[in-house]
Structure 1
Amino acid sequence: MSFSILTDSSCALPATLGQGFSAGDTPVFQVPLEVSEVGERVTTSQPSRQALIAALDAASDGGARRVIAPVLSSRVSGTGAALSAIVAEGDYPCDIIDTRTVGGAIGLAVLAATRQSDAAGALAVIRELVAKSRTAIVVADLKPLVAGGRLRAPTASIGTALGIVPVIEMRDGELKLADAVRGQARARSQMISRVLGARQRGGMLEEIDVVCHEGAEHLLADEFEQSCAAAGVRIRHRYDLPLPAVLEAHTGACYWGLCVTPVLAGDIHPVGSAT
C-alpha cells in the first residue's frame, strides 16, 4: 500500500465507504467535524487536536508511505491549518490539500483518488477535480441561516414573506449568495442552470460525476438528469446523499445541493453501482 487518504466528515461520504462506493485497496479515514447545540443555536467546530492526531496515526499505520489529506476550504474551517501544524511537529508523511470546497465535491475527488495506483497520481487527481468542481445549494428555510449568523433576521423575515429562496454557490473557497428567486422549484432550476452553465463556460462539460444532496422532497435528482440530457451532458455516476451533519447544521433539513466534477481522461470507472 503506497498511500492512504485522510479527509474530514464534510466530504459527505459514508463513514464506511459503503452504499455503492468502492475504495479498492486504498484505505480512507475520516475525522469528524464537531456539531453541538448552545441553547437554540447549533454550532460547528473543527476537530480537536487529539482527534486529528488519532486520525493521522490511523492513516499512517498499515504500511502507507504517504498520507493524502484533502480537507474542506480554509475559508470555511481551520481544520487544514490545525492539521498542518500537527504534521510539521510530528513529521508525518502527509500532503494536505486545501480543497477550497465542501461536501460531495470533496467526496468525488476522494473516490477518484482511490482509483489511482500511486500517491502522485492521487494528488494530481484530487487537485484537478476540486479545482474544476462546481458546488451550489438551495436552502428553503431561512431560519437556520439566521441562527448561524449568516443572515440577518429582518432580511430573512422579508424573504420568507415574499417566498424568496436563496441560491448559494461555492466561490473562491467560500459559500456566497449567487441569486435569490421566488419559489423552491424556480430556485432549483436556477441552481441547475448555474452549475451547468459554469461548466459550459469552461468548455469541459461532457461527462460528469455528481452528488445530489437532498434533505427535502426528493425532486432534484430527476430534474438534474433531465437538464443534463437536454444539454447533452453525460452523467457517469450519480450519488444521492444527505448533507453531512456539519453542513446541515447551517442549512436546516430543507435543502437541495449539487456537487459536480468532470470525468477525467484515463480515470478508471469505479466498481459497484451508484445511486
Structure 2
Amino acid sequence: MKIKRYTLRSTLLLSLLLFTAAAFAQESSIVQITGQVKDQNSGETLPGVSIQIKGTISGTTTDSKGVFTLKTRLKFPFTLVFSSLGFSPQEFEVKNTTSRIDISLATQTLLGKEVVVTASRVEEQALRSPVAIEKLDIRTIKESPAPSFYDALENVKGVQMTTSSLTFKVPNTRGFNIPNNFRFMQLVDGVDMQAATLGVPLGNAIGPTELDIASVEITPGAASALYGMNAINGMANLQTKKSIPL
C-alpha cells in the first residue's frame, strides 16, 4: 500500500512539474514589442494609430502619448503596418525585440472621388459620367456666400437663375430664359417635385431645407433619354442626407 501511495504521489508531482514547465514555455514564447509613433513634420506624438501585424488580425493602437505595446506568439521576422487617418501607411519589419520601435508617419493628402447618380440613375464616378454634370457637394454648399443652397445654383456653370418673385427662383439651362421653365425637371432623391397644376418646379418651395440637403446635381444638357420630355432642357437632382439613390 505504501509503494502504491508513493507511486501515486510521484505521478502527481511529475504531472505538476510537466504542467508548470509547459506553462512556463508557453509564457516564454510570447513576444512583447513596444514603441512610439510620431508625426514626421511636427514631431508630436500620435494617439489612436492602428498597428497591425501584416497578414493577421492581431494588432493594437497607440495611447494618448503615442506609445504602443503589442504581444504576439509569432516567430521573427514579421511586419507591422502603421496606419492612421490623414497619414500615409507605413510598414516596419521586426527582426528582434532588442530595441524600441520609433515610427514617424508622413501626412497624406487624398483627393475625394465625387459620385453622381443623376447621369445614369446608378451611382458612378463623376469623371466617368456619360453626360456633362455639375455638382454642389455639402462642403461647397457650406462655403458658398449665397443666402441658401438654392441660391448657390446661380454660380454653377451653365445655369442661369430667373427671379420671378422674392422667394421664387427658376433655374434655366441651354439658353431658354423664361419665367416658368416647363422644360427643366427638378427631383428630390429621384422624385419629381413639380407643381401638380402648373407643371413646373416652384423653386425650392417644396424642397428640402438647408439642414437636410447633402448635394445638388445639375445636368445642363438634355436628360430626356432617361427622364422623359420634361427634362429636355436639363435637370436638377437634390440629394438629401442618408438618401438611397433610385
Higher relative contact order (CA 8 A, sep 6+): 1
Larger radius of gyration: 2
Normalising by the residue count of structure 1, what TM-score does the alignment of the two structures yield? 0.22
TM-score scaled to structure 2, two decimals? 0.24
Higher helix share: 1
